[in-house]
Structure 1
Amino acid sequence: MKTFFTRTASALVFVAVMLGGILWVPFTFFLLFFLVNFFALQEYFKLIRQVDADYREASAWHRWGVLIASCAIIMAFTGEAFLAAGISLGFLGWWLAVIFLLVLPIGEILLSKDFSLKNIGYSALGLLYITVSLGLLIDIRLSDSMIRFTGSTGAGGQPGWMIPLLLICFIWINDTMAYIIGSLIGRTPFFPSISPKKTMEGSVGGMILAVAVAGIFGYYWGQEWLDLRHWLALAGIAAIFGTAGDLLESKLKRMAGVKDSGNIMPGHGGFLDRFDSLLLAAPFAWIYVHSFMIP
């Protein structure tokens, strides 16, 4: 019972922080995912150290340099959205990212006992997997073109936070429905070597129901903001690539021999555990948005 209340309380706090960060103002959205990136990347490094002992030998210069470069890359994705003293946060981030990404390999050669291209590859993969994905999500949120986009009724534009929030909601619906259906009728294992509890019936059922819910809501109430085809497409992206993202992180944890990536949320794991699905869904949502939604 105590565990149930702990999980419930931490989940409520998580939802409140997420909604506040996403819905309040653009800067809180940036700040929210800036922090998610910072802590998720550290969890990724911790997992890699468990997977490959050689990564433990990476110098402090390497570890902190990659973190600073990651923060700079996230800042760069804000573009001209945030200005202070005539300098944009995006401009500052872009130059910091360039400097650190150029200097980091040089410092690695000079300061590390054993220079390792493999370790640089692990770090670069973390930047691509986590930082670029969250940066693309921030880009969707801050895009002026997205804010001006109108639905099929032409009644008005959808707010910038809508696409990221829909992705998160569709991922949650997919996960919830997959769990329920898998518990009720799941029989066929779905990648048992990675995630033994997932079933084919649950995974497919969750995807279908996520798209169905999006279609029903979009048809009856949502076309003021988005065309029905966009509701269906975004739900499909969230369901398919969200599931793949969950499996990817499960594989990484299994290789590292751990159950959770961290313990920031009692009963719910770490940042990677909470955002693994979003990390893979966000880039594909960005591609879709810029290919089919921006006028």
Structure 2
Amino acid sequence: MALNVKTFKTRSLTAAVFVVVMLTGLLWNQWSFFILFSIIHFGCWTEYQKLIGLIDPDYTTITPFHKYGVKLAGWCIMLYFTSDQFGLFGIPLHEIGWFLGLLCLFILPIVELLFAKEIKPKNIGYSALGLLYISLSWGLMMNLRCSFIPPTKEGVNFSMDTWGKLIPIALIVSIWINDTMAYIVGSLIGKTPFSKISPKKTWEGTIGGAILCVVVIALLGYFTAPANGYRVIHWIAIAAIAAVVGTAGDLLESKLKRVANVKDSGHIMPGHGGFLDRFDSLLLAIPFVWLYIQLALK
């Protein structure tokens, strides 16, 4: 019992710190948002490379230039997807990202040819998948924060800075509600296994979590509609995408961990695992929500 109490206290304290850090990064300003997701980006990359190394030991033989260069190249993708809100010494970050990205594209292959004992296409492929899975997703999250265009509707009273926070926060809240409600519903009435990849998931919990996620976000969208200017159908769509694709993202990361034969992707958050454990659903959901925004709201 003492161990359970200690574990509960550890998980609770870690969760509280996690919430405070996330809210500070999300709500303070655009720079805190950028710093928060830059840290998450590099954390996810570190754990991804560790998992791939466990799945295929050949990946552990990549040169330091490859290992750290691909992380930097991925961060350049994040820089590229920022807007004119971000700048250093009068130079927009997206221009810096474009320039550094071209340098990485030119320099990394040359360095790899010079210093790698053997060029293995599969290792390059693993890194390329990481750029799509991790860096592109966080880049699109930056784009949602920086380049979102509010509706032209009378009575809309959100500030431009609030507009930038709106969709990212709605997406993160949707993922959180879906995960939490799926766990609660599954614990109460779950009987039918959902997937062999994640034995604890049930169909009852998965469906119940998705329904409750959509209902809660729809209600929030309805009661804030006079201020946010968007029809409820859009909030329903975002919540539904987050619930369905987010669940797929969770299963994908669970599959990676199972193949790598590890319980958690990392230990940065005691009792909660690592970066990929916390953001697996979000990583896969972001591109689909971003695509919906481009097609339906811009």
> Which of 175, 183, 201 does residue 204 from structure 2 map onto?
201
Distance 1:228 1:5 in 2: 39
- What are the residue-to-residue correspondences of 1:1-295 with 2, within 5 Å? 1-143=5-147, 145-146=148-149, 148-149=150-151, 154-157=155-158, 159-192=163-196, 194-225=197-228, 226-294=230-298
Shift of residue 150 of structure 1? Answer: 5.2
Distance 1:112 1:65 in 2: 13
| Partner secondary structure for residue 238 of structure 1 | helix
| Deviations 1:59-107, CA, capped at 9 Å, x for gaps | 1111111122122221121132222322112111111111112321222
Distance 2:261 2:69 in 1: 27
Distance 2:260 2:267 in 1: 16
Unaligned regions of 5+ residues in structure 2, if any?
Answer: none
Q: What is the one-letter code of the residue matched to 1:81? A: Q
Q: TM-score under structure 2 normalisation?
A: 0.94
Q: TM-score under structure 1 normalisation?
A: 0.94
Distance 1:149 1:15 in 2: 30
Shift of residue 111 of structure 1? Answer: 1.1
Matched length: 290
Shift of residue 52 of structure 1? Answer: 0.3
Equivalent residues of 1:74, 1:131 under 8 A apart: yes
Shift of residue 227 of structure 1? Answer: 1.5
Between the two proteins, what is the percent identity of the paired residues?
Answer: 54
Distance 2:199 2:132 in 1: 27
Equivalent residues of 1:81, 1:90 under 8 A apart: no
Structure 1 consecutive aligned stretches of length 4 or more whose deviation exceeds 6 Å: none
Aligned-pair RMSD on alpha carbons?
Answer: 1.4
Structure 1 range deviating more: 167-176 or 82-91 = 82-91
